[in-house]
Amino acid sequence: MKLLDYQAKWQDLEASTNPFAIMTMAHLTTMSTQGKPKMRQQGKWDLVRRLLEKGYHQEDIRKLFRVVDWMMTLPFELQQSFEERLNRYQQERQMPLLSHMEVRGMQRGAVQTAHEWLLEVLTTRFEVVPPEVIEAINQIEDVSILKQLLREAIAISSMAEFQQLLSQSQADA
């Protein structure tokens, strides 16, 4: 029997308390949403919410969540939106899926990824990124500021203009 055969048995998967049902649904949803990131985000949300509401033990939820999160990757912005929605859901129901340490780790990862993307765009656009710019960027811990700088870096006309913008964003922070 192939996992794809379970597509016709979706309702049975939803009713099941077997953790492999969640994994099968994650696989099927991942396959059916290739190239459709918004649909994948919604499918991932539906599965994670179901996972939280099934009554599994907390540690089992964490393990299953990690696999679903790994299987159902989303573009950066959609993943951030997904995580914000998940955080709100957990706060409303006072049922943390992730420990504070895991959340901080994810936030650090998001900041590191934003640093890398910003530096990649600057390197692609201007070839050389001065060390003081790299250092200043790496000091920024606010993902929203890094996202705004990334947007600006895509269209800005010179490294000097970007450095002015960077200085301004540091002064504002």
Q: Are 159 and 80 members of one domain?
A: no
Q: Are 57 and 113 members of one domain?
A: no
Q: Are 126 and 47 members of one domain?
A: no
- As given in the structure block, the two tokens for residue 89 are 């859901």
**Percent of the chain scoring above 70 in pLDDT:** 88
Domain residues for the domain of 138 are: 99-173
Q: Are 78 and 125 members of one domain?
A: no
Domain finish residue from 97, 115, 136: 97
Q: Are 166 and 113 members of one domain?
A: yes
For the residues 1-26, what does the mean pLDDT come to? Answer: 79
pLDDT digits (tens, 9 = 90+) for 95-144: 555 555 666 777 777 888 889 999 999 999 999 999 999 999 999 988 88
Q: Are 69 and 131 members of one domain?
A: no
Whether the pLDDT of residue 27 is over 60: the answer is yes
Q: Are 67 and 127 members of one domain?
A: no
Query: To the nearest whole number, what is the mean pLDDT of the chain?
Result: 85
pLDDT reported for residue 103? 63
Q: What distance in Å separates the CA atoms of residue 87 and residue 72, rounded to the nearest whole number?
A: 18
Domain finish residue from 53, 77, 97: 97
Q: What distance in Å separates the CA atoms of residue 135 and residue 6, rounded to the nearest whole number?
A: 51
Q: Are 143 and 120 members of one domain?
A: yes
Q: Are 120 and 143 members of one domain?
A: yes
For the residues 1-29, what does the mean pLDDT come to? Answer: 80
pLDDT reported for residue 96? 58
- Spacing of C-alpha 75 from chain mean position: 7
Q: Are 71 and 103 members of one domain?
A: no
pLDDT reported for residue 116? 92
Q: Are 116 and 80 members of one domain?
A: no
pLDDT reported for residue 100? 57
Q: What distance in Å separates the CA atoms of residue 119 and residue 111, rounded to the nearest whole number?
A: 12
Q: What distance in Å separates the CA atoms of residue 158 and residue 53, rounded to the nearest whole number?
A: 51
pLDDT reported for residue 35? 92
Whether the pLDDT of residue 1 is over 80: the answer is no
Q: Are 114 and 133 members of one domain?
A: yes
Number of domains observed in the structure of the chain: 2
Domain finish residue from 97, 113, 134: 97
pLDDT reported for residue 92? 77
Whether the pLDDT of residue 17 is over 60: the answer is yes
